[in-house]
Amino acid sequence: MDLKVGVIGTGAIGIEHIRRINEKVQGAFVTAVSDINIEQATKLANQINAVFFETGEELIASSNVDIVVVTSWDPTHEKYVLEAIKHGKYVFCEKPLATDSAGCKRIVDAEIAAGKKLVQVGFMRRYDRGYIELKRAIETRQFGEPLMLHCAHRNPTADENYLTPMAIINTGIHEIDALRWLLQEDYVSAQMILPKQTSFTHEKLHDPQVLILETTSGIHIDLEIFVNCQFGYDIKCDVVCETGEIGLEDPAYTHIKSKGKNYTEISPDWQTRFVEAYDYEFELWVRSIQTGKLAGPTAWDGYVAAVTMDACGKARESGEKVKIQLEDCPALYK
């Protein structure tokens, strides 16, 4: 029987995920939506023949909803995930799981009390072909030990609602999770550097920012987060090993030779750059629920990312290198 999906948050990524569930993913379809923007959500509900709920809580409680997708704004994730756990329903939550580690810990504790993994976090980089190939190459140690990672996360523009802390909480969190997963190592410290600003930013956003992380074995990571870079959506990850370098290649959409120039297009946005990763992520999420074996990024992964995120906040404020200490991973997540 196909799984009935309820989606909370019908903005940019909510609509993308609804389309992929209804048009690409086998074994599930969207039966319910909710959003504080009633006009937008009811219109969409009518288009896809789904029921509109005025609150996320009502949607989660509905017998017409088997599993839940949370794609509302970052600060609203925690309450909806806790509500889904309360109802014993599987929930896919876009990143961040909560906006700080205390919020993520409440989710971890609720899941442990429920005695079952119900939560998956939307860390879709783990489903991107480039990152998967990088991980394999690192694991084989064919180029020796990884020593340094040079990364960049660039967006063309950010609006006035995008504030300084979001460089980590909303953007850099992708690398914080993906690099820990790539290297299979936790972080021991974080440092933030605030370089000269672009004239394209506004007064409540320091842009760009640089994050420096160190892992348990001493691997150095530098990540540039630049959300008003103007030229496109650009993701870089170069892993320098003892005898070689392994790097992500931006998927090439078009190669152009014209007017004496020879160039490749740059992805315009996250929708285009990671479309295949999102599709694969949802295909596997639905399949894992059907087989009863949730295998994607867990609430614990969301929590560990948030501990790092908190350290970045302190590092930005103090200008110091901040230590990162984790508790032991609970048995449910081992």
Contact partner at residue 232 from ligand ISE, ligand NAI, none, CB < 5 to 8 Å by partner kind: none
Q: Kindly tell me which of 121 and 219 has the beta carbon lying closer to ligand ISE.
A: 121
Contact partner at residue 6 from ligand NAI, ligand ISE, none, CB < 5 to 8 Å by partner kind: none
Contact partner at residue 177 from ligand NAI, ligand ISE, none, CB < 5 to 8 Å by partner kind: none
Q: How far is the CB of 100 from ligand ISE (least distance, A)?
A: 17
Q: How far is the CB of 13 from ligand ISE (least distance, A)?
A: 7
Contact partner at residue 253 from ligand NAI, ligand ISE, none, CB < 5 to 8 Å by partner kind: none
Phi and psi at residue 170, in whole multiples of 5°?
-105, -25
Structure tokens at 262: 């020879």
Contact partner at residue 155 from ligand NAI, ligand ISE, none, CB < 5 to 8 Å by partner kind: ligand ISE
Q: How far is the CB of 41 from ligand NAI (least distance, A)?
A: 7
Phi/psi-derived region of residue 250, left when phi > 0, alpha when psi is between -120 and 50, beta in every other case: beta
Contact partner at residue 201 from ligand ISE, ligand NAI, none, CB < 5 to 8 Å by partner kind: none
In angstroms, the CA 291 to CA 60 distance is 22
Q: How far is the CB of 76 from ligand NAI (least distance, A)?
A: 4
In angstroms, the CA 122 to CA 119 distance is 10
Q: How far is the CB of 215 from ligand ISE (least distance, A)?
A: 23
Binding residues for ligand NAI, per CB under 6 A? 8-14, 34-37, 56, 71-74, 76, 94-95, 122, 124, 170, 270
Surface-to-core class of residue 108, CB atoms within 10 Å of its CB (0-12 exposed, 13-18 middle, 19+ buried):
buried
Phi and psi at residue 309, in whole multiples of 5°?
-60, -45
Nearest-CB residue for ligand ISE: 171
Q: Kindly tell me which of 104 and 227 has the beta carbon lying closer to ligand ISE.
A: 227
Nearest-CB residue for ligand NAI: 11
In angstroms, the CA 161 to CA 204 distance is 9
Q: Kindly tell me which of 124 and 237 has the beta carbon lying closer to ligand NAI.
A: 124
Structure tokens at 245: 């370098």
Q: Kindly tell me which of 37 and 157 has the beta carbon lying closer to ligand ISE.
A: 157
Q: How far is the CB of 239 from ligand NAI (least distance, A)?
A: 21
271 and 264 in contact (C-beta within 8 Å)?
no
Q: How far is the CB of 318 from ligand NAI (least distance, A)?
A: 26
Q: Output the CA angle 39-42-43, nearest 5 degrees.
A: 80
Binding residues for ligand ISE, per CB under 6 A? 155, 170-171, 174, 227, 270
220 and 214 in contact (C-beta within 8 Å)?
yes
183 and 219 in contact (C-beta within 8 Å)?
yes
Q: How far is the CB of 174 from ligand ISE (least distance, A)?
A: 6
Contact partner at residue 46 from ligand NAI, ligand ISE, none, CB < 5 to 8 Å by partner kind: none
Contact partner at residue 198 from ligand ISE, ligand NAI, none, CB < 5 to 8 Å by partner kind: none
Beta bridge partners of 121: 93
Instruction: Say how many CA atoms lie within 13 Å of 95 toward its Cβ.
Output: 28
Q: DSSP per residue over 66-103, as a string?
A: SEEEE-S-GGGHHHHHHHHHHTT--EEEPSPSSSSHHH
A 10 A CB-CB count for 288 gives 16
In angstroms, the CA 283 to CA 28 distance is 9
Q: Kindly tell me which of 36 and 137 has the beta carbon lying closer to ligand NAI.
A: 36
Q: Kindly tell me which of 62 and 228 has the beta carbon lying closer to ligand ISE.
A: 228
